[in-house]
Chain A
């Protein structure tokens, strides 16, 4: 693990600013707070715009691209507070978290100018175009193909599990640009930025067990992608996607998805009577520990260090914790069944969403492999 990172007084002040901002939101937005798993499913453009106005989207993007040139630790504090409050941040989440850093590191100048200012303004939303029907954990097996044509590429294939794909403007697709070489499966992959309203793109809903439309299947049929939307180098897709994943895996969303359920349950007398202090205390300690651990990773990203193993450590523990919270509270609230309480409805959402926590962004089994590799066991 990276070394402990302190929270400076300035960061503490920023934390308070976010809390105040949330408390003084106009009523229409304030009622949107308090949800479970809102970074993936709380899509609210008005909220996103309000955040952008405060300068809290694209915080780490340099000013010349419309960003705010702030540090990873500042972004960490702001995102932690938003997540803890169950704020609806899904619209800009992926663009802000992983697309912006990826474009800054690998994108062409033209693509940066086109997308970064729009992302920072809270007007441009992204999905993730990694998984496919036959490629989940084994991401290197993707079959979506891009062929060189005059001035760019044509892309064909099917992406699956695209969160928010029906609402997003674009995604970065991981595609095969050279035939599979069985001796080096990670070669021949590239990342292409695809606009989801381009001709040949068909976004089809996939309905979740809870009845929500969140996932999509994105069918790409000879979609033209101009040269400048190749992200990074042709053939470097695997290296790039791995670096993108360490941003995706390390954040506070990996332990805070059910924080509002914890809050609500502790304030609910009908639940409190079924909860033993030793159990709530243990959960509180784990929460505080994960907060420290996650901040240490943010500090290490700030210093430009490799964070893939430490991000995996946080994600394995964090996603298990946020799911266990939902499970524990649902069982404690169980006797109140039939009563339509707020705790119960959040708990329902928590236990139904829970299976996704330890799958998305790389399953915990795959991450344990990443940790084992870091330990030198593989």
Chain B
């Protein structure tokens, strides 16, 4: 149950790898736009709204399939608002019982003044779903981008990011108080999955590069110190993958509403975040100067990692919540680490996102 259909995986891979990394080098210079043609292809294949139930026009797949697609896309540096459209916007509209389709969307979680400082893809998508405050309640509305003020903000990788502002009261459908926390968890897990996809591709690039590049009359991969740098990338990536897989498997069953779902997401985010430090540092080290340039595809993978790890809670945000849980718990560290339930963590998370 932890693996997905190999044919489906191949279909996903074919779509996202239709352009290779070399064809995407301009992304680093010109920034990243939503590619209409590729989105259309995903829509045709039912991949744009993978986890949306079939009766609402989606594919009714689980987090497992969604994670596979996100990993494949990230590994190909094929950037699309998949997390935003399927895992966030479509989910939120369903929560509010609002109509939904497979147009590209994003979600803006607004503060009381109607502002959200960092909304992914806001300038590129066709609809913006807002989670707003109205009369002391949380409400959801599916807005046209022309109804909101969108101010681009710089990102490290060229991924489109904006500040979004809505003036006036949002006329929306009320939703549960816990919705904001759910958005945080869903986005956090989505980013963790993407990061693992990028890191796994980085391992491949490192092996390739060190096999081809010759210095002192030998390929770099024959030097033990170079092997060590790459082995450490592989080890950190494997740990991150294990932690993320655990959270995704949980999500596939509980849709992130299980007794230890939030804890698992936090663990995944911490492991991914710390792994990214070793992975980025060592990958650039073994690539030498060429890896630091826009002529080389490495930056197409390392720069998004630097964006993703700070979105939906930074590395230290998740670390701190886990640490506060340890401080608050009456049970043992080990029980928490292996726990089937982590009510204490949920409490700490609730307080943090209040």
For A275, give the chain B residue with the smallest CB separation: B323
B239 part of interface (Cβ distance < 8 Å): yes
CB <8 Å contact, A368 and B232: yes
Using a Cβ–Cβ cut-off of 8 Å, how many residues does chain A contribute to the interface with B? 47
Which applies to chain B's interface (DSSP): helix, strand, loop or mixed? Answer: helix
Task: Give every chain A residue within 8 A of B240 (Cβ-Cβ).
Answer: 289
Interface window among A1-9, A137-145, A166-174: A1-9
CB <8 Å contact, B2 and A6: yes
Q: Contacts A84-B334, A368-B232, A375-B230 given; indicate if A12 touches B245 (C-beta within 8 A).
A: no
CB <8 Å contact, A284 and B337: yes
CB <8 Å contact, A284 and B227: no
A92 part of interface (Cβ distance < 8 Å): no
Interface window among B157-165, B178-186, B324-332: B324-332
- Measured in the bound complex, the distance between the Cα atoms of B241 and A289 in whole Å is 9
CB <8 Å contact, A281 and B249: no
Task: Give every chain A residue within 8 A of B336 (Cβ-Cβ).
Answer: 284
CB <8 Å contact, A277 and B320: yes
In this complex, the member of B245, B267, B268, B337 whose beta carbon has the largest number of chain A beta carbons within 10 angstroms is: B337
Q: Contacts A6-B249, A282-B319, A365-B228 given; indicate if A262 touches B333 (C-beta within 8 A).
A: yes
In this complex, the member of B240, B326, B327 whose beta carbon has the largest number of chain A beta carbons within 10 angstroms is: B326
- Measured in the bound complex, the distance between the Cα atoms of B173 and A358 in whole Å is 57
Task: Give every chain B residue within 8 A of A368 (Cβ-Cβ).
Answer: 227-228, 231-232
A296 CB to nearest B CB, Å: 6
- Measured in the bound complex, the distance between the Cα atoms of B274 and A332 in whole Å is 21
CB <8 Å contact, A272 and B323: no
CB <8 Å contact, B2 and A3: yes
Task: Give every chain B residue within 8 A of A111 (Cβ-Cβ).
Answer: none
Q: 27 pairs across A/B with beta carbons < 8 Å?
A: A259-B333, A263-B333, A266-B327, A272-B327, A279-B319, A280-B323, A281-B326, A282-B322, A285-B243, A285-B319, A287-B337, A288-B337, A289-B243, A289-B267, A289-B270, A291-B337, A291-B338, A292-B246, A293-B243, A310-B238, A317-B236, A369-B227, A376-B207, A377-B211, A377-B221, A377-B222, A377-B226
Q: Which of A's residues lie within 8 Å of B, judged by CB? A: 1, 3-6, 12, 15, 80, 84-85, 259, 262-263, 266, 272, 275-282, 284-293, 296, 310, 313, 316-317, 365, 368-369, 371-372, 375-378
Q: Which of B's residues lie within 8 Å of A, judged by CB? A: 1-3, 203, 207, 210-211, 221-222, 224, 226-228, 230-232, 234-236, 238-243, 245-246, 248-249, 264, 266-268, 270-271, 274, 316, 318-327, 332-334, 336-338, 340
